Amino acid sequence: MSKIEAEKDNVRKNSQKLKTALHEQGEALHKEIDAVVKTMESSIDLMDYKLLAEMNKQEDSMKHIINEIKQLIVHLRTLLDTYDICIVSKYESRNEEFSRLPALFQVTLHKFVPRQINSEEITQQIGLLSEQNITNLVEWSINEPTVLANFDTEYKKNALRSVSCQSYTELWTLGWEDCMRLYNLRGELLKSVPTNSNQTPHDIAVLRNGDLAYTDYHGRSINMVKKDGKHIHPSINLQGWMPRYLCKTYYGDFLVIVDSDDKKQTKIMRYFDSTEKQSIQWDDQGLPLYTPNGTTIFLTENKNLNICVADAYACAVVVVSAVGQLRFRYYGHQESFKPTGITTDSQGMILLSDFETNLIHILDENGTFSRYIDNCDVDRPHGLCVDFNDSLFVAEHRGKVKKIQYYK
């Protein structure tokens, strides 16, 4: 009972913490709105200043002309009353001069056209609350892991590189071919979807809405496929960057690893729909977090919103926070270490495949090594994914897929 009371207290404290953060975000949004309003007010004042200055200038010119005309009328009256022919003969008419008055201009007053307030957009600006679940804790077992399924794919001659769960019983796969294939756990091919460009895609990921996303490296595009296999247009086209690996996130957006056109820079970009929201590239010392032009850099997002990257060329796993701050690096426990696949489970554990030793490493969310999965006859593991029941799928280099239950 004391543990339940402690959990209830944690719930109350967390709720207060969320409300405080929400209030702070609301205040920040109010400040931004106030700043935009003040900027627009300043623009109105500046436009009015320029317009009024021009109107004052014209008004002064008209007053000057009117004064001259009044003076001329007085002068003409004196001419009418004089008998001096010399004075009258010297007079020159100014009718033509006064007939050319300054051009009048028409003033078009400012208008403000308010946009309809979209509460959905405001919610997205403020942020999203992650789902809250009550999960029965799973006790880690020292028993041997179990292979639940083991089947061959069509990629026997073309290395299987990536897997992504469509459901409990269906799995998308990707190899060195210009199509993605959907299998069930019996190894039966359910669907084959070719790419738009006939180029080999670099990676695949099933997003939270069920769409399949894939990257076209040479086409510099990120493409979406509906559940019925039809492509969604338009795709996301990048300028100056080429996309490699990608993953879904808990908030419904997705992350993608990209290389610069000159192959000298590599970074992570976060997208919501087709809008870039974030870029992660450097550590606190201004050094690159990821190997430039690293052809094998898988990534995933943990339940604590940390971004976990398996950088095969750096022989390291690099984990950063949601804002891109480096949390830790993991270099393995053996002399040879080449992480080629990475995924996370519902407990926040990080699972990564070692291409050189055929081991699956399991770390906790803080990077502390827990144990290996080393007795399931895994051969040259590449891509990894975890399904909704926390069973692990391993894509082997020569085209075989294994489904492993690694704890009770």
The answer to whether 408 and 143 are in contact (CB under 8 A) is yes
Question: Mean per-residue pLDDT for 45-57?
Answer: 78
DSSP structure class, residue 355:
T
Amino acid 132: pLDDT: 60
pLDDT bin (cut points 50, 70, 90) of residue 76 is confident
Amino acid 140: pLDDT: 46
pLDDT bin (cut points 50, 70, 90) of residue 245 is very high
Amino acid 367: pLDDT: 92
Sketch the domain layout of the chain as residue ranges: 2-114, 146-405
365: helix, strand or coil:
coil
- Share the mean pLDDT of the chain: 84
Half-sphere exposure (CA, 13 Å, Cβ side) for 8? 5
Chain segment 371-399, per-residue pLDDT in tens = 898 878 888 888 899 988 889 999 998 88
Evaluate if residue 10 carries a pLDDT over 60.
yes
Chain segment 206-217, per-residue pLDDT in tens = 998 889 999 999
Nearest in space to 162 (alpha carbons), one of 341, 293, 310, 294: 341
Angstrom distance (rounded) from CA 84 to CA 343:
111
Angstrom distance (rounded) from CA 293 to CA 43:
46
Evaluate if residue 342 carries a pLDDT over 60.
yes
Angstrom distance (rounded) from CA 391 to CA 397:
20
Angstrom distance (rounded) from CA 394 to CA 379:
9
Q: What strands lie across the sheet with 307-311, from one edge to the other? A: 297-301, 307-311, 316-320, 326-330
Where on the phi/psi map is residue 131: left (φ > 0), alpha (ψ -120 to 50), or beta?
beta
Question: Mean per-residue pLDDT for 140-164?
Answer: 81
> Across-strand partners of 344?
350
Amino acid 150: pLDDT: 92
Angstrom distance (rounded) from CA 171 to CA 403:
11
Enter the pTM of the model.
0.66
| Per-range mean pLDDT, top range of 78-82, 97-101, 154-158, 275-279 | 275-279
pLDDT bin (cut points 50, 70, 90) of residue 133 is low
Nearest in space to 297 (alpha carbons), one of 341, 329, 331: 341
pLDDT bin (cut points 50, 70, 90) of residue 141 is very low
Evaluate if residue 269 carries a pLDDT over 80.
yes
| Per-range mean pLDDT, top range of 8-17, 25-34, 95-104, 130-139 | 25-34
**Cβ neighbours of residue 331 closer than 8 Å, sequence gap 6 or more:** 315, 316, 317, 337
Amino acid 350: pLDDT: 95
Amino acid 404: pLDDT: 92
Chain segment 172-214, per-residue pLDDT in tens = 999 988 899 999 999 999 999 999 888 889 999 999 888 999 9
Amino acid 32: pLDDT: 83
Angstrom distance (rounded) from CA 146 to CA 403:
8
Amino acid 52: pLDDT: 79
Angstrom distance (rounded) from CA 227 to CA 212:
7
Topology of domain 146-405 in CATH is Methylamine Dehydrogenase; Chain H (2.130.10)
| Per-range mean pLDDT, top range of 142-146, 165-169, 363-367 | 363-367
> Across-strand partners of 224?
213, 232
pLDDT bin (cut points 50, 70, 90) of residue 3 is low
Evaluate if residue 256 carries a pLDDT over 90.
yes
Q: What is the token pair recorded at 80?
A: 């009418």
Evaluate if residue 138 carries a pLDDT over 70.
no
Q: Is 315 exposed, middle or buried (0-12, 13-18, 19+ CB in 10 A)?
A: middle
Q: Is 162 exposed, middle or buried (0-12, 13-18, 19+ CB in 10 A)?
A: buried
